[in-house]
């Protein structure tokens, strides 16, 4: 998979579109660093680090963490060795300022984006998914009782930790996060369309099909069937 290891992808999509689910699969299948800003902020909140303490209020209220903080976190993360060959961004960039800062950062590092994949899912489906989601408190894997059922109720298949509801997944907060997405993040669809990087993938299909569609949209050659 040497060609795929050079993939540098952004997954763009509303809360609940399946960014985390697909970032994990893409990362594992193609050896890409998974860079999920929400996961990084939640880990910092749990560790009560200074950055976590500063980010907590934003996460709890479904607001975006300020751009300077977020951009700094991503810049630091991109310097890790595992991000050198390829990465998949989950939840970043999310504002115009983050997108232009990311362009500048990649130019400085002499790296090019392969594609920006927009996962398209209707709003009522997003609300349904998030209010029924369970996540692993340890490794962040997402589950639900319809399309991603854990083998043992309430326990992560991957690491055996307990599954929990995210604090920001109650109905009211989900609606607010979707409004924030429409206002601040949806304009990036046109931004990346303008850069000829945008590929839109139907996010309502089965998780396996969405994965295949993303790989195809990113230009990964299909493995020959035996």
Residue 11 Cβ, how far from ligand AP5 at the closest point, in Å? 8
Q: Least distance from C-beta 146 to ligand AP5, angstroms?
A: 7
**Contacts by residues 168-172 (CB-CB < 8 Å, ≥ 24 positions apart):** 168/59, 168/60, 168/62, 169/130, 169/131, 169/133, 170/131, 171/127, 171/131
Please choose which of ligand AP5, Mg ion, Zn ion, none residue 59 contacts, taking the beta carbon within 5 to 8 angstroms, the exact cut-off set by kind.
ligand AP5
In the complex, what is the shortest distance from the CB of residue 13 to ligand AP5, in angstroms, rounded to a whole number? 6
Closer CB to ligand AP5, residue 51 or residue 130? 130
27 near ligand AP5, rule: CB under 6 A: no
Residue 20 or 86: which CB sits closer to Mg ion?
20
In DSSP terms, 198 is beta-bridged to: 116
Give me the helix-helix angle, 96-108 and 67-78, nearest 10°: 30
Tell me which residues touch Zn ion (CB under 5 A). 136, 138-139, 141, 156, 158-159, 161
Residue with the closest Cβ to ligand AP5? 38
Q: Are 142 and 133 in contact (CB under 8 A)?
A: yes
Catalytic annotation on 94? Answer: yes
String marking each residue 11-50 x if it binds Mg ion according to CB under 5 A: ---------x------------------------------
Give 206: exposed, middle or buried? Use CB within 10 Å, 0-12, 13-18, 19+. Answer: exposed
Among this protein's residues, is 24 annotated catalytic? Answer: no
Q: Residue 108: is it exposed, middle or buried by C-beta count within 10 angstroms (0-12/13-18/19+)?
A: exposed
Provide CB contacts within 8 A for 64, sequence distance 6+.
58, 70, 94, 95, 180, 184
The residue among 1 and 207 lying less far from Mg ion, judged by its C-beta, is 207
Residues 194-213 that bind ligand AP5 (CB under 6 A): 203, 207, 210
Instruction: Please report, as ranges, the residues that interact with Mg ion according to CB under 5 A.
Output: 20
Which residues are marked as active site?
19, 94, 133, 166, 177
């Amino acid at each position: 998979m040497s060609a795929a290891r050079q993939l540098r992808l952004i997954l763009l999509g509303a809360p609940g579109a399946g960014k985390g689910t697909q970032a994990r699969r893409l990362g594992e299948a193609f050896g890409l660093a998974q860079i999920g800003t929400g996961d990084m902020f939640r880990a910092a909140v749990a560790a009560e680090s200074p950055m976590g303490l500063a980010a907590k209020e934003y996460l709890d209220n479904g607001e975006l963490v300020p751009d300077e903080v977020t951009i700094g976190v991503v810049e630091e993360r991109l310097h890790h060795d595992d991000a050198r060959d390829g990465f998949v961004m989950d939840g970043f960039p999310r504002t115009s300022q983050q997108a232009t800062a990311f362009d500048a950062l990649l130019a400085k590092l002499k790296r090019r984006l392969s594609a920006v994949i927009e996962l398209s899912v209707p709003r009522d489906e997003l609300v349904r998914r998030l209010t029924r989601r369970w996540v692993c408190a340890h490794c962040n894997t997402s589950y639900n009782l319809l399309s991603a059922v854990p083998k043992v109720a309430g326990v992560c298949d991957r690491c055996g930790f307990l599954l929990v509801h995210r604090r920001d997944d109650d109905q009211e907060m989900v609606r607010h996060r979707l409004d924030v997405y429409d206002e601040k993040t949806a304009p990036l669809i046109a931004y990346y369309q303008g850069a000829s990087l945008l590929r839109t993938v139907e996010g309502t299909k089965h998780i396996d099909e969405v994965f295949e569609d993303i790989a195809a949209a990113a230009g990964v050659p299909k493995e020959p069937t035996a």
